Amino acid sequence: MATKRLGPVGWYLTAAASLVVAIMIGAMVGPAGPPAWRVPLAFIDHLPFIDIDSGVSDSEWAIIWQIRMPRVILGGLVGGMLAVAGSSYQGVFRNPLVDPYLLGAASGAGLGATIALTVGRSATESWSFDPVVAVAFIVSVVTVLVTYLVGGAFGGRAQSGATLVLAGVAVVSFTTAIQTFLLQRNVDRVQEVYSWILGRLSTATWADVTLVLPYVAISVLVLMLHRRHLDVMRVGDDEAATLGMNVRRTRLIIIVAATLGTAAVVSVSGLIGFVGLIIPHMIRLAAGVGYRRLIPLSLMIGGAFLILADVPGRVLTSPAETPIGVVTAFLGAPFFIVLLRTRRIGP
């Protein structure tokens, strides 16, 4: 393909430019604040050693910086992390249909949020931080841990990606059953729970960004350092082992890193689908399948995608908002159907 001739530097510059443009567009759109065309001028005005008349008042700048920008930055972190985790999971399991939620991170987070919003709400009202985020993160991590232990118990020393996938299906079904039971007994909380499950960035603050940033940074760093291992694992477990790789240990490290990052972002954003599934495929089609390039491009393109996907939700049903999970599903499902139709997907 002609697009692959850009080379690594060309693709990195293109992805970085896309992310910057997406951040600017995200900062320009909102129900209140200055005219959109003045927002770039406001950012330029706040650069060191630059003083121009942007026409943006202090109150309007507060709207941009305190309301819009946390939402934009959090969207970038969530989208980038989900895309990186999705591409890593697809490499580890050598399955193009794998997403970051395969081993139960999403179902665990959903169960944790349901517990916090229903049976645990009265017990956590005095907490100094959001109990939904904390419980969703903890239960998400525990769910993936249970999945891995179950897969190890039944896979034995020959534990494989297929065993973990089957264990994930079983554990996800179990957590979903518990969540359904809790919702049935707390029908007054159903709307609140589903509002969380459908994904939202509308309540984002700088505190949320600060909370998830360390997890995302550590997870992405670990996965970046294992790009070569992911390329080797594409040939199969046995072949990778003959090349000197400890396949089981490498798989565990990658799963732990991807899971921690996914659990962190999902706990503050809710369940946002398709990002970790379609973004890696888009990059493979355009830039090639090598993980040395795929992981960093997934981080930038995934962040840009989710920032832009959040924009329609702000304006489609104004003054109300469309959940971002609905928007990503609306955009992602047709795209993935096209990928399946052309049969050009692969790990």
Exposed, middle or buried, 319 (CB in 10 Å: 0-12/13-18/19+)?
exposed
How far, in Å, CA of 162 to CA of 92, rounded? Answer: 11
- Low-confidence stretches of the chain (pLDDT beneath 70): 1-5, 120-129, 153-161, 317-318, 342-347
pLDDT in tens, 301-345: 999 999 999 998 887 766 778 889 889 988 888 887 877 776 555
Q: What's at 112, amino acid-wise?
A: G
How far, in Å, CA of 36 to CA of 223, rounded? Answer: 37
Note if the bond before 70 is cis, omega within 30 degrees.
no
- In this prediction, residue 347 carries a pLDDT of 55
CA distances from 34 to 39, 45, 203, 213 (A): 7, 14, 20, 29
CA 12 to chain centroid? 20
Q: What's at 137, amino acid-wise?
A: F
How far, in Å, CA of 134 to CA of 129, rounded? Answer: 8
- pTM of the entire predicted model: 0.91
- In this prediction, residue 123 carries a pLDDT of 54
